[in-house]
Amino acid sequence: MQPPSASCILHPVCLILLSLTVAASTLGFTRPPQVPPGLDVSNIGVYYTFGQQITFTARLTSSIPITQAAISFRDINEQNTRVEPLVLNPDGSVSYQYDASQKNIRPFATILFSYQATLADGETVTSGLFNFKYEDNRFPWKSLVQDSLTVHWYEGNDAFGQAALEAARIGLQNMSTLLPVASPAPLDVYVYSTSGNLQNALALGGSPWIAGHADPALGVVLVAAAPGDAQTIELQRQIPHELARVMLYRSLGVGYAHLPAWLNEGIASMNELNPNPDYAIALQAADASDALIPISDLCASFPADSGRAFLAYAESGSFVRYLRDTYGSTGLVALTRAYADGLDCDLGATRAVGSPLNQLDARWRESALGQNMMSVAMRNLSPYLLILGLILIVPITGAVIMSIQRRRDARAK
């Protein structure tokens, strides 16, 4: 029986598999004599409340009595499979409830599941794979589809959804001119109306975030933008930014994990159709106060402090634009490939464009921010020059004092 206030989403593939199972006998299919009788699975259901629980139901039957039963399930991108025993009712029905509030599942992940049974003759048989999408069903999503791209939203009219779809389309088009991606795999963009709803969805999935979020392996992008006067600006900033991560992943594969934070975020920021105007202000202020963060400090991660993190985003976007303007898209692609191969932050830059990261940092500051590198060098060296001066002045002063004293002693004689 379906639990109250629950929803059921069963992927069409599941229905196809189920149809094949049921139709096997009616179409005259017979198993070869050497193959043991299999497991028939019917009445398949998946009912869940997002972030709380998932209930799996089915009916398992076989021509040989079943002595034990179990269900196996996992996120399609996970390596570990959860295996849980089932209580088999006399009519073959089974039910299992998974506590998603304690054992998080990523939002919008595709969940694969199958059933296993141990028969009275000792044989263990397994059903085919079924799947469903663990969508955030707390909201009444509306959708627009264009080719392999689907945009989902729940607040706002069709014009809002169309604006989101257009922002995604242009963002993908821009990225395709930079990174070659073999096939247009399905991509889903979910637009929450508030950052609170988005953060809550991510928290229920075990991955809290601040604003937007992309799960490259899933091909899912989550952003927060409310319908209204500023909707186009926000959609054109957030959606292309997050889509860039997915495209990077699809271009680089597992090597995506090796990208320096400044390159990953810099490419994403560069892909924004409406870049944040406060980035330029933050750069100018940091430059004037000698507070810029060395790019080499932004390889592993960005600062935890929100103000410094904002500056890190601003620097990364500006730095990557400088690299593209200087070395072209081919140079930028060479950088992503070098880092995807596992080279460290400095060696990757040297192999890709022929200059170490600190030299690129200095040239960017000079080109984009107008810094005089000689004065910058002198300013950076000034503390050391002061220490050197103090080291030298002591013996010099001592020598002068001793010389004066010797002259006084000579006159006294």
Report pLDDT digits (tens) over 252-290: 999 999 999 999 999 999 999 988 899 999 999 999 999
Which of 232 and 412 is assigned the larger pLDDT? Answer: 232
Lowest mean pLDDT among 34-38, 84-88, 175-179, 219-223: 34-38
CA distances from 333 to 41, 158, 178, 330, 337 (A): 49, 37, 7, 5, 6
The most distant pair of C-alpha atoms in the chain lies apart, rounded to whole Å, by: 131
Where b means 16+ CB within 10 Å and e means fewer, 363-392 reads bbbeebbebeeeebeeeeeeeeeeeeeeee
What is the side-by-side strand order in the sheet with 7-8? 7-8, 40-49, 53-61, 93-99
What does pLDDT average to over the chain? 84
Report, as an integer, the average pLDDT of 1-18: 40
The pair of structure tokens assigned to 83 is 């295996």
Percent of the chain with pLDDT over 90: 65
pLDDT tens column, 365-400: 999 998 765 444 444 444 555 565 556 565 666 666
d(CA 59, CA 71): 12
Predicted confidence at residue 392, as pLDDT, reads 58
Predicted confidence at residue 161, as pLDDT, reads 97
pLDDT tens column, 312-339: 999 999 999 999 999 999 999 999 999 9
Lowest mean pLDDT among 34-48, 125-139, 225-239: 34-48
Predicted confidence at residue 396, as pLDDT, reads 64
Residue 20 scores a pLDDT above 60: no
The pair of structure tokens assigned to 6 is 């629950």
1 confidence band (pLDDT: 50, 70, 90): very low
8 confidence band (pLDDT: 50, 70, 90): very low
Alpha-carbon dihedral of residues 250, 304, 262, 109, nearest 10 degrees?
0
d(CA 313, CA 32): 63
The predicted model scores a pTM of 0.77
- Which phi and psi angles does 66 have, rounded to 5°? -95, 130
The pair of structure tokens assigned to 71 is 């269900």
Residue 44 scores a pLDDT above 50: yes
Report H helices in 6-58.
12-26
101 C-beta neighbours (distance < 10 Å), count: 11
405 confidence band (pLDDT: 50, 70, 90): low
pLDDT tens column, 51-68: 999 999 999 999 999 999
Rg (alpha carbons) of the chain, rounded to whole number: 31
Predicted confidence at residue 157, as pLDDT, reads 95
| 291: Cβ contacts below 8 Å, ≥ 6 apart | 285, 311
pLDDT tens column, 72-122: 999 988 888 999 999 999 999 999 999 998 888 888 999 999 999 999 999
pLDDT tens column, 65-74: 999 999 999 9
pLDDT tens column, 124-133: 999 999 999 9
Instruction: For 98-158, give the DSSP string.
Output: EETTTS---TTPEEEEEEEEEETTS-EEE---EEEE---TTS--EEEEETTEEEEESSS-H
Percent of the chain with pLDDT over 70: 78
